[in-house]
């Protein structure tokens, strides 16, 4: 894929999430105030050393969900996102919850951080949106300290699109998971973007683990049950969430 194509696709992704930022945040705030957040913390803590504070990078932070949770646990968190509208929501959320992660607009595939800056790189529902996931994984490894951990929570959302499952796209603004405020036009754009991405053609998370091994992670693995454990009945039947992990 050439650079011009990547730029065009990223512009579409940025435009889509700019339109979706506020409604997306409504549901994320509901999730922050639900017992799902406690299950997230329990899952993440399984992979973290007991020392504090850790230097953590939340890639594709969106409206700051992980950045806020991990800041509440006493860690120093940097949250990055391509979409400024998302970051504006994230800053307001952090202020409301009295935590101070640092938010910056940045491309997840080209990080502006020195080598070995972070103990943990964490991401949620991002890699499926990336036109160059290989570069992203290499960058995330680059900024991890030796012995540092990558946690990537994602799903095969292309399968959801192919099966025309829109059950999570038209929820009320009181729900704790899914998407509210999605118009038919936005639904169509989301489907088009999803199927245009390289990840839509890959067997996940099997491809992801092989790639982590290829670029030099010392250990890696995946958990196919994490969606059922954390999201429970909200996990998507056609695109169950998985965890991909790696240790540098």
Per-residue pLDDT tens, the chain, 248 aa: give them: 444 445 788 999 999 999 999 999 999 999 999 999 999 999 999 999 988 899 999 999 999 999 999 999 999 999 999 999 999 999 999 999 999 999 999 999 999 999 999 999 999 999 999 999 999 999 999 999 999 999 999 999 999 899 877 767 778 889 988 889 999 999 999 999 999 999 999 999 999 999 999 999 999 999 999 999 999 999 999 999 999 999 99
Calculate the alpha carbon distances from 33 to 23, 41, 174, 235 in Å: 16, 13, 11, 18
Please report how the helices 206-215 and 133-143 are oriented relative to each other, as an axis angle in degrees rounded to 10. 50
Rg (CA), the chain: 17
Number of residues that make up the chain: 248
Q: Are 124 and 242 in contact (CB under 8 A)?
A: no
Please report how the helices 3-32 and 84-96 are oriented relative to each other, as an axis angle in degrees rounded to 10. 20
What's residue 8's pLDDT?
A: 86
Please report how the helices 65-72 and 84-96 are oriented relative to each other, as an axis angle in degrees rounded to 10. 30
Q: pTM here?
A: 0.94
What's residue 34's pLDDT?
A: 96
How far apart CA 223 and CA 237 sit, in angstroms, is 16
What's residue 169's pLDDT?
A: 74
What's residue 6's pLDDT?
A: 54
Beta-strand (E) ranges in the chain? 55-59, 76-81, 102-105, 118-124, 144-154, 219-223, 242-247
Residue identified by tokens 């995946």 is 222
What's residue 172's pLDDT?
A: 87
Residue 163's CB: how many other CB atoms inside 10 A?
12
Beta-strand (E) ranges in 126-205? 144-154
What's residue 121's pLDDT?
A: 98
Contacts of 131 (CB under 8 A, 6+ apart): 1, 5, 6, 9, 10, 109, 197, 198
Q: Are 97 and 68 in contact (CB under 8 A)?
A: yes
């Amino acid at each position: 894929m050439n650079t011009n194509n990547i730029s065009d696709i990223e512009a579409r992704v940025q435009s889509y999430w700019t339109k979706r930022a506020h409604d997306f945040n409504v549901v994320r705030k509901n999730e922050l105030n639900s017992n799902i957040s406690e299950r997230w913390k329990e899952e993440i803590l399984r992979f973290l050393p007991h020392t504090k504070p850790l230097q953590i990078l939340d890639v594709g932070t969106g409206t700051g969900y992980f950045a806020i949770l991990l800041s509440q646990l006493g860690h120093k968190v940097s949250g990055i996102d391509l979409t400024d509208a998302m970051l504006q929501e994230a800053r307001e959320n952090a202020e409301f919850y009295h935590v101070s992660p640092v938010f910056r607009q940045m491309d997840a595939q080209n990080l502006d951080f020195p080598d070995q800056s972070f103990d943990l790189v964490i991401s949620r529902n991002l890699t499926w949106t990336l036109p160059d996931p290989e570069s992203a994984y290499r960058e995330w490894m680059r900024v991890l300290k030796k012995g540092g951990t990558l946690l990537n929570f994602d799903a095969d959302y292309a399968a959801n699109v192919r099966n025309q499952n829109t059950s999570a796209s038209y929820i009320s603004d009181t729900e704790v998971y899914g998407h509210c405020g999605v118009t038919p036009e936005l639904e169509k754009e989301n489907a088009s973007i999803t199927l245009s991405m390289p990840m839509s053609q890959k067997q996940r998370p099997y491809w992801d683990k092989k790639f982590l091994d290829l670029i030099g992670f010392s250990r890696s693995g995946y958990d196919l049950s994490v969606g059922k454990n954390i999201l429970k009945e909200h996990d998507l039947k056609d695109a169950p969430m998985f965890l991909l992990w790696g240790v540098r």
